[in-house]
Structure 1
Amino acid sequence: MASLSQSNTQRQPRTSAATKTAVLTVVLVAALAASCLLSVAFGSRVVTFGQIVNAFAHPEVTDIASDAIRLRVPRTVLAILVGAALAVSGALMQGVMRNPLADPTILGLNSGAAFAIVCSIAFVGLSTPAQYMIVALAGGALTAMAVWAVGSIGRSGPSPLKFTLAGAVIGSVLSSLTSAITLPRTDVISTYRFWQVGGVSGGRFELMAPVLPLMAVGFAVAALSARQLNALALGDQMAAGLGVDVNRARMMAWSGAVLLSATSTALAGPIGFVGLVVPHAARLIVGADYRRILAMSALIGPLLLVASDVIGRVVSRPDDVEVGIVTALIGAPVFIALVRRRSMPEV
C-alpha cells in the first residue's frame, strides 16, 4: 500500500506538469495565430477581417486593401520562419556549448555574415537582396567552420569553452574588419546599414524559396540531435559512457545550428536576442529535455518575431521600426528578468 501511494504521488506531479505544458502550448499557438492575423491587418493601412477573407477568397481582386494584404502575407511567413530558425539555432548552440549565453550573435556567425556583405558591397559591387542573401549565407557558414576549426585545436579536441572563446575572438576580429572597411566609405555605410538592422519588411516568396531546403535540413538535423544533446548536457564523460560519440554528436548539432542561423541571417539580416532569450523561456516552461526545448523554441520564436514586427509597424505608423530593433528592446529586459529568477534551470 505504501509503495502504491508513493507511485500515485509521483504520478500526480508529472501529470500536472504535462497538463500545464499542454495548456501553455495551446495558449502560445492561439497567440501566434492572433499575431499572424494582426500582422496581416496592421500596417500603413489598416484592413478589416472581411477584407482579409475577401483577398484570399478572390485572388483576382486588385484593390488597395487586397494588394496590401498580399504584401504582408510573405512578410508574416518570413517572420515565422526566421523566428523559428533563430530560436532553434540558439537552443542547439546552448546545448553544444553548455553555455546559457550562446547564440548566433555571440558566437560570431552574424559578424561573419556582416563582413561578407560589406566586402561584397565595397569590392564587388553587389546591390540586390538576392545577392546579399547568398553572400550572407556563405559568410555565416565560413565563419562557423572557422569557429569549429579553432575550437578543435589541441590534444583535447573540441570543447564548449574553446568554442565560446573562438566565437568571441573571431566575431570581434570580423567586426573590427567590417568597421575598418565601412568607416572610410560612406557609400558602403549607406547601403549596409539597412541590412545591418535586421528586418522582415523585404519578405518575398521568390527570395525565400532557394533557402527553404537548407532551412528544412537544419530543422531535421535539430530534431535528430535532441536526444544526443540531452546526453551532452550530462558532460562529455557521462555522454561517452552512455554510448554517445561526443564529437560526432556535437558536430551534428553544430551543423544544424549553423544551417538555421545562416539561412535566417541571409533572409532577414542579423536579428539579435531571439536565439538567446527564447531557449531560456522554453526551458522554464518544459524543463531540461532538449526534445521539448527545441519544439517549444520553434513555437515561441515565431511568436516573438511576428509580435515584434506588428509592434514596430503600429508604434511608428505609417513608417516601420525594423524588427531587429524591437526584439532588442523586448529581449534585453526579458533576458534580465529570466536571469534574475532563482529557479532558472541550468543548460
Structure 2
Amino acid sequence: MARTLIVLVALLVLVALAAIFSMMVGSNPISASQVVAALVDRANDTGSVVWGSRVPRTVLGLLVGAALGLAGAVMQGQTRNPLADPGVLGVSAGASLAVVAGVYLFRVTSVLGTLSFALVGALVASVVVFSVAALGRDLSSPVPLAIAGTVVSSLLVALTSLLVLRDETTLAAYRIWVVGSLSGRSLDGIEAAALLAALGAVFAGLNVSSLNALALGTELATGLGVNLVRARLVGLAAVTLLTASAVAITGPIGFVGLTAPHVARSMVGGNHASLLPASALIGMVVLLLSDVLGRTAGGDGTAEVPVGVVLTVLGGIVFILIVRRVKVAAL
C-alpha cells in the first residue's frame, strides 16, 4: 500500500512537470520561471503567450489524457483483453460518425455542437454494441461484446467515409478533426467535457470491485455475487462518457488508452483501486509529452505534427517493443 501511494505521488509530480514543460515549449520557447510568473500575473511579457495558447492546450491535454487512460483501463478490465482500448466497443467510431453527420446535415462546427454530437454518437454506438452482444444472451463472456464492437465499428467507419466523400465541406472539417490534435483548440466547452469525464470517472470508480472480481474469471465473479449485466453496463457507461469527452475535443487519439494501463499495471499491480488513477495520470503524461514532441518535430519551431499522428507512429513502435521484450503484466 505504501509503495502504491509513493508511485501515485511520483506520477502526480511527473504530471506537474509535464504540464510546465508543455507551457515552456513552442515557437517561442520560454523558461520555467517565466511560465510561473505568467501564471501568477497575466499582464507580464509572456502572459499572452502562456494564457492565450499554452494553458488551453495543456489543460485539454490533461483532461483528454486522463480520460483515455482511465477508459483504457476499464475497457481492458471489462474484456480481460490486454489489447483492448475504447475503440473496441465502437465508441470512437460512433462519435466520429456523429460529428461528421452534424457537419454534413446541420453544418455544426462549434465546440459545444461537436461535443453534443460526439456524446450522442458514442452513446448510440454503445447501446447498439451492447444490444447486438445481448442477442447471444451470454454476457458472462466479454467475447460477444468485443465481436459486436468490431463489427459495429467497421460499419460506422464505412458510413463516415460515405458522408465525407459526398461533401467537400464535410471532408474539410473531418480532415482537420480526425487527425487528433491539441493545436488551435480553445477552452470553449471545457466545462461540459470535464463534466462528462467526471461522470465517467464516477462510473469507473463504481466499477472497481466488479473489475477486480472479473479479473478472476466470470465464473468466480458470479460466485462472488457480481451481477455481470450490471457490471458490463456500468463499465460501458464509464468508457462511453470518458471517450466521448476526449474525442469531442481533440478528435480520435489512439495508443493512450491501449498503453497507459500496461505501464500502470507494471507499476501498481492489478488492483483497479490503484490501477485506474495510475492509468489516468500516465495518460496525462504520455499525451502532454507527445504533444510537445509534435510541436518540435519541424525543427524550426513553427511546423507541428498533430499529437494523434505522433502517438500513432510512436505508439506502434513502443507497443511492439513492449510485447517483444517485456513480459506484459497479466490482467
Aligned length, in residue pairs: 328
Partner of 1:337: 321
**AA paired with 2:49?**
A
Where in structure 2 are the equivalents of 1:200-219 lying within 5 Å? Answer: 200-219=182-201
Name the SS of the counterpart of 1:244 in structure 2.
Answer: coil
Call closer, same or farther: CA 1:57–1:253 in 2, change over 3 Å: same
> Under a length normalisation based on structure 1, what TM-score does the superposition of the two structures give?
0.89
1:48 to 18, 31, 42: 31
Task: Check conservation: 2:122, 2:240, Cα contact below 8 A.
Answer: yes
The whole-number CA distance in structure 1 between the counterparts of 2:153 and 2:77 is 20
Partner of 2:261: 279
Task: Check conservation: 1:280, 1:338, Cα contact below 8 A.
Answer: no
Name the SS of the counterpart of 1:345 in structure 2.
Answer: coil
Name the SS of the counterpart of 2:275 in structure 1.
Answer: helix
CA displacement at 1:204 relative to structure 2: 2.8
The whole-number CA distance in structure 2 between the counterparts of 1:145 and 1:51 is 48
The whole-number CA distance in structure 1 between the counterparts of 2:317 and 2:6 is 25
CA displacement at 1:27 relative to structure 2: 4.1
Over the residues paired in the alignment, what is the CA RMSD in angstroms? 1.9
1:32 to 15, 35, 56: 15
Structure 2 residue runs without a partner (length 5+): none
Task: Check conservation: 1:104, 1:261, Cα contact below 8 A.
Answer: yes
CA displacement at 1:225 relative to structure 2: 1.2
**AA paired with 1:57?**
V
> Under a length normalisation based on structure 2, what TM-score does the superposition of the two structures give?
0.93
Task: Check conservation: 1:106, 1:168, Cα contact below 8 A.
Answer: yes
Name the SS of the counterpart of 1:155 in structure 2.
Answer: coil
Partner of 2:50: 69
Task: Check conservation: 1:79, 1:200, Cα contact below 8 A.
Answer: yes
- Which stretch shows the higher mean deviation, 195-204 or 24-33? 24-33
Where in structure 2 are the equivalents of 1:160-179 lying within 5 Å? Answer: 160-179=142-161
CA displacement at 1:168 relative to structure 2: 0.4
Call closer, same or farther: CA 1:341–1:153 in 2, change over 3 Å: farther
Partner of 2:306: 322
The whole-number CA distance in structure 1 between the counterparts of 2:242 and 2:95 is 13
- Which stretch shows the higher mean deviation, 246-255 or 179-188? 179-188
The whole-number CA distance in structure 1 between the counterparts of 2:311 and 2:137 is 40
The whole-number CA distance in structure 2 between the counterparts of 1:58 and 1:287 is 42
Structure 1 stretches of 4+ with a deviation exceeding 6 A read: none
Partner of 1:232: 214
| Alignment of 1:269 onto 2:247 | no
Task: Check conservation: 1:108, 1:167, Cα contact below 8 A.
Answer: yes
The whole-number CA distance in structure 2 between the counterparts of 1:114 and 1:158 is 29
Where in structure 2 are the equivalents of 1:1-347 lying within 5 Å? Answer: 19=3, 21=4, 24-59=7-42, 61=43, 63=45, 65-70=46-51, 71-157=53-139, 159-316=141-298, 317-341=301-325, 343-347=327-331
Call closer, same or farther: CA 1:341–1:22 in 2, change over 3 Å: farther
**AA paired with 2:14?**
A
Name the SS of the counterpart of 1:209 in structure 2.
Answer: helix
CA displacement at 1:205 relative to structure 2: 2.9
CA displacement at 1:83 relative to structure 2: 0.4
The whole-number CA distance in structure 2 between the counterparts of 1:57 and 1:74 is 16
CA displacement at 1:22 relative to structure 2: 5.1
The whole-number CA distance in structure 1 between the counterparts of 2:140 and 2:95 is 23
CA displacement at 1:188 relative to structure 2: 1.8
- Which stretch shows the higher mean deviation, 251-260 or 25-34? 25-34
- Which stretch shows the higher mean deviation, 168-177 or 45-54? 45-54
Task: Check conservation: 2:212, 2:271, Cα contact below 8 A.
Answer: yes
Which structure has the larger Rg? Answer: 1
Task: Check conservation: 2:11, 2:278, Cα contact below 8 A.
Answer: no
The whole-number CA distance in structure 2 between the counterparts of 1:232 and 1:174 is 29
Deviations along 1:205-243, whole A, 9 cap, x unmatched? 332012222211111121221121010111222111112
**AA paired with 1:336?**
I
**AA paired with 1:339?**
V
The whole-number CA distance in structure 1 between the counterparts of 2:129 and 2:11 is 35
Deviations along 1:292-337, whole A, 9 cap, x unmatched? 2112101100000010111111222213211111111221122112
Name the SS of the counterpart of 2:166 in structure 1.
Answer: coil
**AA paired with 2:13?**
A
The whole-number CA distance in structure 2 between the counterparts of 1:187 and 1:243 is 52
- Which stretch shows the higher mean deviation, 245-254 or 50-59? 50-59
Task: Check conservation: 2:112, 2:188, Cα contact below 8 A.
Answer: no
Deviations along 1:51-109, whole A, 9 cap, x unmatched? 223322323x164x211100211211110111011011011011111122211223321
Task: Check conservation: 2:141, 2:218, Cα contact below 8 A.
Answer: no
Quote the sequence identity (%): 39
Partner of 1:8: none
CA displacement at 1:264 relative to structure 2: 1.1
The whole-number CA distance in structure 2 between the counterparts of 1:192 and 1:92 is 28
